[in-house]
Amino acid sequence: MKKMDYQNVKGTQDYLPNVEVVRRDIRRTLEDVFIQYGCKPLETPILNYTELMASKYGGGAEILEEMYTLSDRGKRDLALRYDLTIPFAKVVAMNPTLKMPFKRYEIGKVFRDGPIKTGRFREFTQCDVDIVGVGSQIAESELMVMALDAFRKLELKVTIQYNNRKLLTGMLNVFGTEYEKINKVILILDKLEKVGIESVVTELDEQGLSSSTITLIKQFLIDAGKTSFDYFESFAEQNEEVRHGLNELKELESYLEFLGVREQCVFNPFLARGLEIYTGTIYEIFLDDQSIKSSIGSGGRYDNAIGGLIGTDQEFSTVGISFGLDVIYTAICSTVKELKENPNVDYYIVPLGTQKESLLVAGYLRNKGYKVEFEMSNKKLGKALDKANKEKIRSVIIIGQDEVRNNQFKVKDMFSGEEWTESFPFN
C-alpha cells in the first residue's frame, strides 16, 4: 500500500499549541475590547452564493480574481467568503428590523487564492467591527480609539493614518482626471510609499492621462504643505467633493483632538485603500517600529454597500475596521520578550503511584479557578521536573503514598527551589 504524502494545502497551516495559545490570547484580548465598546457578536456563513461575493459592492476586481469558487450537488454557484464585510452587509440587508445603530463584531476565517508571502496565507483570520446607522464622524472616532485601546492592551505601539476618499476623488477631479480613470489612479497613488514618486508618475502616464493632469498630480505629491487641512481650502471652493471630504476630516480631527489621541492619528492625503467600496473616511494602522511594513489593521466608511445589495439607492451609513490576527501574531512574536513564567499553567500535578488521589486534588484546584495540568504518563519525578523547567511552570504539586497517608500534598516552587506541604482530606 502506497504511503500518503501528508502535507497542508498551499497557503494553509496548522497551529500547534505553543503558537495557538498566543493566537487565542490575541483573539481574547480583541474580543474583550470589542465587548467593552458595546459591540454585539455575529457569525456569518463561510459559504455564500457567488453572486453575493462578486457584487460590485464587494472587494473589487483584484479580490474577485482571488475568490475561491465551487458548486454544490444542485449545481449552484458558491464561493468562500474573502472577507467579513459583505456577509455583514447581507445580514443588515436581510434583517430590516435590526435596531439602529447596530454595532457588531465578528472573528472568523476568510479565504483568498492570492500570492503567498511572509505573513500572508490563503486561509486567515479576520477580526472585524462595523457600525451601521451613524452618519457622523463620531463612529470613525469610536473605532479608531477602540483600535488604539486594543493595541495598547496587546502592548504594540501603533499609529493610525487616515484620509477621506471624497477629498482624494475631488482633488483628482480638480486636476482634470477623467471620471472612469479615477479609481485606477487612486490604486496607483496607494502604492506611493512602496514604489516612490517616479514609479507612480510612470504608471499614471501609462493610463493615458493628459500631461497637464500628471503635472498637477506630481505637484500635489511633492508639495510640502499638503499634510495641512489649510492646503485644501482653495480647492474646496472649486470642488464640492473636496469641500465635503475636508469638512468630514475636520469633524473627525475635532473628536480625535478632544479625546487626546491626535498624536497617534496622522492625516495622510495619499492614503487611498484599494477597495472601491469606500465612500468617505479611510484609515490604516501601522506599527511604530516598522518591524512589519504593511498595515496590521484597516477600514473606513462604505455608505453604499448595504443599499446596493438590497437594490435601492437608500444609504446606510456604515463604517468598519478590520484586524488581521495572523499579522498581529507575527508582530507580537517579533517583539515578545523571553517568557519568565508560563501563564497557562498555575499548577502541574505529578502523581507518584497516586493517580486517583491526584485527580481529586486537580478537580479541587480547578473548581477554585486554577489552570491545572495533570501528568498522566507515569513520568518519574526527575523527568516531570525537567518538563516543568522547560515549560517554565512555576508550581509543581507532588503527591506520593506518604502524602496521601498524611492527608497532604507537597508544593515545589521551581523558580526559588522552596518546598512546602498543604493539608488535603484524602480520606
Binding-site residue ranges: 83-85, 112, 126, 130, 273
Q: What one-letter code names the amino acid at 368? A: K
The CA–CA distances, whole Å, from 207 to 161, 174, 267, 269 equal 27, 17, 27, 21
User: Can you name the residues that pair with 297 across neighbouring β-strands?
Assistant: 285, 323
**∠ CA 50-51-57 to the nearest 5 degrees?**
110
Contact 265, 162 (CB under 8 A): yes
**∠ CA 213-219-221 to the nearest 5 degrees?**
105
Assigned C-alpha cell, 121: 496565507
Cα separation, 229 vs 242, in Å, equals 11
Go through 259-284 and write b for each residue having 16 or more CB atoms within 10 A of its CB, e for each that does not.
Answer: eebeebbebbbbbbbebbbbbbbbbb
Question: Residue 395: what are its φ and ψ, rounded to 5°?
Answer: -110, 120
Cα separation, 85 vs 57, in Å, equals 10
Q: From the annotation, which residues make up the binding site for L-histidine? A: 83-85, 112, 126, 130, 273
